[in-house]
Structure 1
Amino acid sequence: MDTGTHVVMGIALGGLAMADPVVASHPITMTAVIAGTIIGSQAPDIDTVLKLRNNAVYIRHHRGITHSIPAVLLWPILITFVLGLIFQEANILHVWLWTFLAVFLHVFVDIFNSYGTQALRPFSNKWVALGVINTFDPIIFGAHLIALMFWAFGADPVWTISILYVLLFFYYVVRFAVQAAVKHAVRNTVPGAKNIIVAPTIRFFQWRVAADSETHHYVGRAYGRSINIYDKFLRHPLPTTNLMQAALKDKNLAAFVSFSPLFRWEISEVDDIYEVRLIDLRYRSNDYYPFVAVARLNHEHKVIQSYTGWIFSEDKLREKLDFSMN
């Protein structure tokens, strides 16, 4: 989820903590718990700073180790230790319990996005992404804001947040049902469809659709159960040439391949320079595929420029490639 949603979820969890008699009866513990739930709801996303290094590192590691099983156990201990130094009279056990719940909830809800997390590490490096909730879901965010407003105007926080979570549970059930219906519609629309990816958008009834058949890639949109296929590409396996193998060893292309489950490739040659481009098919926007990885290689198959990330024009891509040489 986005940062704003994680913030309101942390505050809401602090309200639910009033159901704990120890928290409700001890103001210092209550303050520490609310601080813990807010900080805990943000802590796993500290790896966002990796973007300051480069996109390849960010793509490969964001929502990785910081969202893993060891991290879910260690974040609450670290946060509780710091809060214990600040709120020395607080009940540390209860601060830890609610902080742990905040960290766990952060990782848990991220699983429902298309991006997903490596929540099963160290047992598996597989990305767990259920793809039923958009990174920013206005209904989830808005429902939290309404509940927090009721709390601010005097409503009982335990009942208010409990009702919120019950309603959101049924909302998630509905999202799963809609996703299943869209996948069924894709199978009826695309002959022999497999590797179907149905990803949510910010609009409730609109979904991004990408799928493979034995011979083609298909890209489109779903509006309810109506499937519109916008693009159809012939499928070609990645070549095993020395050129492609050299390109795939580049950090930017390697990061892209580790993250993208459905992409096509292109190779071109201009002025004695080869360009290898990988194009993620999940994110079509205004007739353009903005999430790409590009490597330019010389005739010795040495990478001289490379980039991966979100690019919305060829001019901007050339700027990024030129910058990568500096």
Structure 2
Amino acid sequence: MDTGTHVVMGLALGGLATLDPVVANHSITATSVVIGTLVGSQAPDIDTVLKLRNNAIYIRNHRGVTHSIPAVLLWPIGIIAILYPLFPEANLLHLWIWTFIAVFLHVFVDIFNAYGTQALRPFSSKWVALGVINTFDPFIFSIHVVGLLMWAFGAHPGYTFIGIYAIIFSYYIIRFQVQRKIRCRVKEMIPNATQIIIAPTMKFHEWRIAVISESRFFVGRSSKFNVNILDEFERVPIPENEVIEAAKKDKNISAFLSFSPIYRWELDEYDEHYEVRFIDLRYRSNGHYPFVAVVQLDLNYSIINSYTGWIFSEAKLRKKLDILSN
């Protein structure tokens, strides 16, 4: 989920913790728990700072080790090591319990996004992405804000958020049902599909669709259960030649290929260089595919420059590559 949603969820857990008698009857414990749940709900996303280095490192590592099983166990300990000396009278066990719940919930809800997490590490490096909730979901964010406002105006926070989380639980079930219904429609339209990726958007009835068959890629959109195929590409195997092999060694291309499950490729030869481009098919927007990885190589297959990330026009991509080459 996005940072804003994790913040309101952290505060909501602090309110939910008032149902715990130890928290409710001890003001210092209650204060420390609210801080612990707020910090715990943000801690796994500390790897966002990797974006300051470059996109390749960010793509490879975001929601990776910081969202792993060992991290979920270690984050609460690290947070309490800093927090407990500030509140030595707080109940240590209950502070740990609620901080752990905050960290666990952060990683758990991220699994339901299309981006997903490597939550099964170290047992598996597979990305777990159920794709039923958008990274920012207006309903989930808004209902948390409503709950916080009710708390501010005197409602019991524990009972308020227990009711809100019951509603959210039902909302998740509905989203799974909607996704399943769309998947059935896609299977009817493309019976030879070998993989179907259905990703949510911020709009409840709008979903992105990417499909792999034995010979083709299909890209579409679903609106109110109506599935429209917008683009269709021949599925051409990546050639095994010196240009492609050299391109795959580039850090940006390598990061892209480790992350993207469905993409097409392009290879162009110019007078003085080659250009290899990989295009993720999951994020079609206004007829454009903004998530790409591009590498330029000289005629000796040495890398001149490369880029991976979100680019919404060819002109901006050219400008980005020109900057990197200087």
The Cα shift of 1:158 comes to 1.1
User: Match of 2:239, as an amino acid?
Assistant: P
Indicate conservation of the 8 Å contact 1:297/1:304, yes or no. yes
The reply to whether residue 314 of structure 1 matches residue 314 of structure 2 is yes
SS at match of 2:308: strand
Structure 1 segment 27-66 matched on structure 2, within 5 A: 27-66=27-66
Residue 200 of structure 1 corresponds to 200
1:5-42 per-residue CA deviation (whole Å, 9 max, x = no partner) reads 00000000000100111111111110000000000000
TM-score normalised to the size of structure 1?
0.99
Give the whole-Å Cα distance in 1 for the aligned partners of 2:317 and 2:170. Answer: 43
The aligned counterpart of 1:274 is: 274
CA deviation profile, 1:155-176 (whole Å, cap 9, x unmatched): 1111100001111111000000
The SS at the match of 1:237 is coil
- How far is 1:191 from its partner? 3.8
How big is each residue's C-alpha offset from its partner over 1:243-280, in whole Å with a ceiling of 9 and x where there is no partner? 11110110000000000000000001122211000000
Amino acid at match of 2:175: R
Tell me the SS of whatever aligns to 1:184. helix
Matching of residue 302 in structure 1 with residue 308 in structure 2: no
SS in 2 for 1:130: coil
Separation of aligned partners in 1, 2:215 and 2:317: 30
Write out per-residue CA displacement over residues 191-230 of structure 1, whole angstroms, 9 at most, x where no aligned residue. Answer: 4122100000000011000001221110010012211111
Q: Tell me which residue corresponds to 2:126.
A: 126
Cα separation, 2, equivalents of 1:224 and 1:246 = 45
What is the rounded CA distance, in whole Å, between the counterparts of 2:93 and 2:322 in structure 1?
53
Hey, what's the Cα distance between the residues in 2 that align with 1:123 and 1:235?
A: 32
In structure 1, the residue corresponding to 2:300 is in which secondary structure?
coil
Q: Deviations over 1:106-132 (max 9, x none)?
A: 000000000000000011000000000
Count of aligned residue pairs for this structure pair: 326
| Equivalent AA in structure 1 for residue 218 of structure 2 | Y
CA distance in structure 2 between the aligned counterparts of 1:240 and 1:139, rounded to whole angstroms: 47
Q: For residues 27 and 73 of structure 1, what CA distance do their matches in structure 2 show?
A: 26
Please name the residue that 1:167 is paired with.
167
Distance 1:164 1:48 in 2: 29
Deviations 1:64-103 (A, max 9, x none): 0000011101100010111111112111111111000000
1:7 — aligned with what? 7
Question: SS state of the match for residue 222, structure 2?
Answer: strand
Instruction: Using the TM superposition, give the Cα deviation of residue 151 of structure 1 relative to its aligned residue in structure 2, in angstroms.
Output: 1.2
| CA root-mean-square deviation | 0.8
The one-letter amino acid paired with 1:108 is F
Query: Is 2:261 the counterpart of 1:261?
Result: yes
Residue 19 of structure 1: aligned partner: 19
Question: Which residue does 1:135 correspond to in 2?
Answer: 135
Q: Tell me the CA shift for residue 316 of structure 1.
A: 1.1
Partner of 1:284: 284
Q: Structure 1: where are the runs of 5+ without partners?
A: none
CA distance in 2, matches of 1:35, 1:323: 43
SS state at 2:321 partner: helix
Q: How far has the Cα of 1:324 moved from its partner? A: 2.3
1:87 pairs with 2:87:
yes
Taking the aligned partners of 1:262 and 1:131, their CA distance within structure 2 comes to 15
* Counterpart AA for 1:179: Q
Counterpart of 2:154 in structure 1 is: 154
State percent identity of aligned pairs: 63
Residue aligned with 1:294, SS: strand
Unaligned runs of 5+ in 2: none
- Residue identity in the other structure for 1:310: W
Aligned mates of 1:277, 1:239 — CA distance in 2: 13
Instruction: Name 1:222's counterpart in structure 2.
Output: 222
